[in-house]
Structure 1
Amino acid sequence: MKTNLITREGFDKLNKELNYLWREYRPEITKKVAWAASLGDRSDNADYKENKRLLRQIDSRVRFLRKRIEAVKVVEYSPQQDGKVFFGAWVEIENDDGEKKKFKIVGPDEIYGRNDYVSIDAPMARALLKKEVDDEAVVKTPTGEQTWYVNNISYQNPSLDND
């Protein structure tokens, strides 16, 4: 079950993708399909088959994006969040071995292609919610429990690199 929360940045990105697919990419592929279809016999026409396949993929993604954009709730930053870990926070954590991690807690639609984002649905994010700097968070992982300490929390896109 995916959480239907998303940051403003993530919401804008989904809308941008939808607009690109619908207004630019789909019309371009539709022209190619029409051109390939005009050549006659479609059974041996690789251009036609490939572009029809692309069109199906685009339409499927467009349907998904439209439903998702309707379903998600944009969570805007609020000053009351300062000092605690909530949705949209950049967090730096450290374990007893001195290993550090820095990431932003975001919606499940936003994590793809980003290794510095963690889904709000992930055990790590769940364990960190409402924690403050110097709090300890116990994260249940497949290999057992891990303890992490909160070093820094920010809602501005920090380069938390002030060490």
Structure 2
Amino acid sequence: MSKAPNQDTDDDDDLGLPALPKGARNYMTPAGYARLRAELFGLIDDERPKVVEIVHWAASNGDRSENGDYIYGKKRLREIDRRIRFLTKRLELAEVVDPAVHHGSDQVFFGATVTYVEASGTERTVTILGIDEADSLQGQVSWVSPIARTLVKSREGDELRLVTPAGVLEIEVLQVSYPAPPGEQA
């Protein structure tokens, strides 16, 4: 049986988020994993049952072809189911890495917050997180991003070459920090 061209396929499950590199692990911080898991269970336990109830009620009203509650409810169900499939896959592939294990280290690994300066004197701070949890507006970058790949395994004081579409930038690592382990919060 073939699918109609407008129906969702498993290939579309990325919802615009970057794909994982082939064979790569889906590194996540404990907080990122907890957020995705909470979203998944919220969709399964709360949102989906409410939409199913609306669709059921709308379907019982008769003519479905002109029933907005039914049409939009079914569309929303497809969106919810698609997000549930996506989150389930990502959580199955997740490898939770607690950056607090590197607390006190001056070497850059997953979860580090790094301050660096460009040759132009511009100082920037980024936190290296998982693909599904990084938010560039918050100064967070994915561990597969060019800046993260350049910074990983460097140490405070290292001078590095960051390859960008605009050319090569010379940068120097100024500071590396990690969250404190639970119980050591200051």
Q: TM-score, normalised by structure 2?
A: 0.79
Residue 48 of structure 1: how far off its partner (Å):
0.4
Contact 2:114 2:125 in 1 (8 A): yes
Residue 139 (structure 2) pairs with residue 116 (structure 1): yes
Contact 2:135 2:141 in 1 (8 A): no
Residue 80 of structure 1: how far off its partner (Å):
7.5
Residue 28 (structure 2) pairs with residue 28 (structure 1): no
Moved more, 59-68 or 72-81: 72-81
Structure 1 gaps of 5+ residues are 158-163
- Residue pairs, 1:14-163, within 5 angstroms: 14-77=36-99, 78-79=101-102, 82-112=105-135, 114-156=137-179
Q: TM-score, normalised by structure 1?
A: 0.90
1:118-145: CA deviation from partner (whole Å, max 9, x where unpaired): 0110110000011111111211111111
CA gap 1:51/1:68 in 2 versus in 1, 3 angstroms: same
Q: Distance in 2 between matches of 1:97 and 1:152?
A: 18
Q: Distance in 2 between matches of 1:49 and 1:91?
A: 48
Q: Distance in 1 between matches of 2:130 and 2:105?
A: 19
Runs of 4+ in 1 over 2 A off after TM superposition: 112-115
- Is the partner of 2:138 in helix, strand or coil? coil
CA gap 1:113/1:96 in 2 versus in 1, 3 angstroms: closer
May I ask how many residue pairs the two structures share in their alignment? 157
